[in-house]
Structure 1
């Protein structure tokens, strides 16, 4: 089933969709030329929000989980993209080692959804012709551990073995190591100084080093370039943001942290109001305040006025106090989502491997509003419709009336996020000559 697209047929999103469809050859050529100069991340997922008057990404994950939500119809695209990615990196590859998040076998039952995602990744790369085994760097995995999954499947975690310069398993020497561990707790020493194998994504893509603000700075750059090509205001596809450096909330300096946030929130809300006035938008603007690193969804605040920060209730203040180890916070333009599934708020999540869109799903949440974070307990997932290809638009259909056309536009915005990630990783590569 497909969410009801309630955007008015004369609305700005449909004008944008028409511009995208009319410019499809130019857009595809533009991406093709970009990929001649830049290397896409190995895989990626992008959360997108459709407000009716703008369509923008709100998060980009370089260690995406949720692959189990892709339907069997999507797997051929994923396998083909995986083949292309592996052939570029290690054409003679025979073995691939997949490293997941650390799992405690005693609590494995709480992680079956995540492990189903790992099983799906294993299935995808196995179909590319690789021997795929799952190696755990968790201290609690000391021997081969088989964990049953829903549906009768099972998954086997094996303890990783480290030699001087290589990583593998007992009697298993991989060419490529694929991380599905976002390194938010830091970079384990066992993953450092590996020189004879391909480690993907690179360590500096992990949340211990990566910053959302840097990513969206790169996104603004690529969105401006595509906006110029299409003749559109890049704001229509870009969430504006501000950053608050050095926010280390504690019981003693919360007030100074709130002062920093208050100033940046006021600045961003002023910028958003100006845009809303320009486009005649009657909605009340809001911003989302969250940690500049990590994807766990904790400590996220929706703010409509600086007074909201000054009169924080105890629960909200506790959320901020919990963010003691974050280096900075990002204040991001809030983007409404006007899409619905069974009367529940919905947002599309697009999955990519190498430079290709391979599928995705709608994240829906019956207990959240259109201005709230949907990546929270209680969320459910509905695959994107694949009755027809979501990558091939229908040029003759009216904007907003064709599901493939709308999904094609999602794919364009998602690939902008992918390209921005490429720029971001190049700029932060510690082995590059110049670290920007």
Structure 2
């Protein structure tokens, strides 16, 4: 099934797509050389926005949920990629312990856990689900809307290992983004492989670090393609020590928002774009679409009401927001039925395995779509996964569009690998 896009296959984005298609051998070699030097994240998903005049990632998740949105046709690729990823890390792996988020009542999220269990089971591993939620004191079976069941079991920690009753895994896969910090039960596991590592969690990770790495890569990649890197890069600023509750630090926010809006206006003028620029202000370590607002004019910040401040001040697990990233807003030019749509690309190891469109009928083209009310339509990397139809002009074929999405998503994945290297507490630092 190829989704029916209302607006996607027209406009200046075709020139960028054509450049990417024409440069395919050089692009694939570029990625190959990057992966010789750097380790890809174990798995990841990237939210992409197609403005019709630029295409850019706006968020990269290193503990992706939503695997249940991938179609059965995408599963073989996910299984092969899982095999390749595990083989590199622990070729003799037999048992895998999957640790999910603590919200055990969200059956939609648990359908994603069931899908991950299925993928790694088909990759040749015994997979069980271990909860680090203190409320889970005994094996708990949860019925899912699909008719499936998920068994959550309490984890058991020995001096150096983590497991379940009668289950000793060599590999532990986290599907928990550690927003509230890394619990002690996951630390000092020197005999087991923990994937992704603890420093990939939001207690350490910052979006500004990720987009700084991405910005540098987009310059190199832009040179390879002979394009302005702005066409694939959302500009950003960062603001630390903001306190939405007390109102302190908001002057820093206003100054940075104003500066970024000015830079975006300049770019729009350069390219003859008649849209109103906007920025997205979001928690630098935010997740789940929380702590996000759209700002179209710096005056909007002066008029922030208490409700908006409260919404911005606290994110998942009750974490208080002090650092924010101010990101150039990228319009989404794609619509599906009556809803605004953005592609989300899923990767395992270095491979694109599929994805979906996040669609929201009640949100505008300049708003965050990761919000209650969004729905998901599979991104059909049809016709032999995501291979482009070489020889066809840019914009002429949907698989070509998806190949372009896969290239931008992989670029964000390389940025994530740089980011993880920079924050690795065990990395040797050379002066």
TM range (shorter): over 0.9
In 2, the alpha carbon distance for the partners of 1:435 and 1:51 equals 41
**Which residues in structure 2 correspond to 1:84-233 (within 5 Å)?**
84-104=84-104, 108=105, 111-233=106-228
- Of 236, 240, 249 in structure 2, the residue corresponding to residue 241 of structure 1 is 236
2:293–2:312 Cα contact (<8 Å) kept: no
Which ranges in structure 1 are unaligned for 5 or more consecutive residues? none
Counterpart-to-counterpart distance in 1, 2:321 and 2:369: 22
> How far apart are 1:5 and its partner, in Å?
4.9
In 2, Cα distance between equivalents of 1:318 and 1:355: 39
Per-residue CA deviation, residues 6-43 of structure 1 (Å, 9 max, x unaligned), is 2574x321100000000000000000000000000000
> Do the aligned residues in 1 keep the contact of 2:312 with 2:321 (CA within 8 Å)?
no
The equivalent residue for 2:3 is 2
State whether structure 2 residue 49 is matched by structure 1 residue 30: no
Distance 1:61 1:321 in 2: 21
- The Cα offsets for residues 267-326 of structure 1, whole Å up to 9 and x where unpaired, read as 101111111111111101000001000212223111111111112233223323446722
Name the CA shift for 1:435/1:288 in 2 (closer, same or farther; >3 Å): farther
Closer/same/farther in 2, CA of residues 177 and 435 from structure 1, 3 Å limit: farther
1:17 and 1:308 map into 2 onto residues whose CA distance is 36
TM-aligned CA deviation for residue 3 of structure 1: 3.6
- Aligned ranges 1:26-425 → 2 under 5 Å: 26-104=26-104, 108=105, 111-251=106-246, 254=247, 256-322=248-314, 325-425=320-420
Closer/same/farther in 2, CA of residues 163 and 337 from structure 1, 3 Å limit: same
Which sits farther off after the overlay, 38-47 or 316-325? 316-325
Distance 1:388 1:175 in 2: 37
C-alpha separation between the residues in 1 aligned to 2:429 and 2:374? 42
Question: How well do the aligned residues superpose, as a CA RMSD in angstroms?
Answer: 1.4
Does the 8 A contact of 1:429 with 1:435 survive in 2?
no
Note if contact 2:95-2:127 (Cα within 8 Å) is conserved in structure 1: yes
69-78 vs 303-312, greater mean Cα deviation: 303-312
- Indicate if the aligned counterparts of 1:427 and 1:435 stay in contact, CA closer than 8 A: no
Q: Distance in 2 between matches of 1:87 and 1:129?
A: 11
Q: Is the 8 A contact 2:65 2:109 kept in 1?
A: yes
Mapped to 2, the partners of 1:30 and 1:343 lie a distance apart of: 38
Is 2:244–2:310's contact at 8 Å kept on the other side of the alignment? no
Measured in 2, the distance between the counterparts of 1:81 and 1:199 equals: 18
Q: CA deviation at 1:398?
A: 2.1
- How far is 1:386 from its partner? 4.2
Structure 2 residues not aligned, in runs of 5+ = none
Query: Are 2:79 and 2:123, in contact at CA under 8 Å, matched by a contact in 1?
Result: yes
Which residue matches 1:429? 424
Alignment CA distance shift 1:174-1:396 (3 Å): same
Scaled by the length of structure 2, what TM-score is found? 0.96
User: 8 Å contact 1:390–1:407 — kept in the other structure?
Assistant: no
Shift of 1:229: 0.5
Using structure 1 for the length normalisation, give the TM-score. Answer: 0.95
Deviation, structure 1 residue 431: 1.0
| Secondary structure in structure 2 of the residue aligned to 1:204 | helix
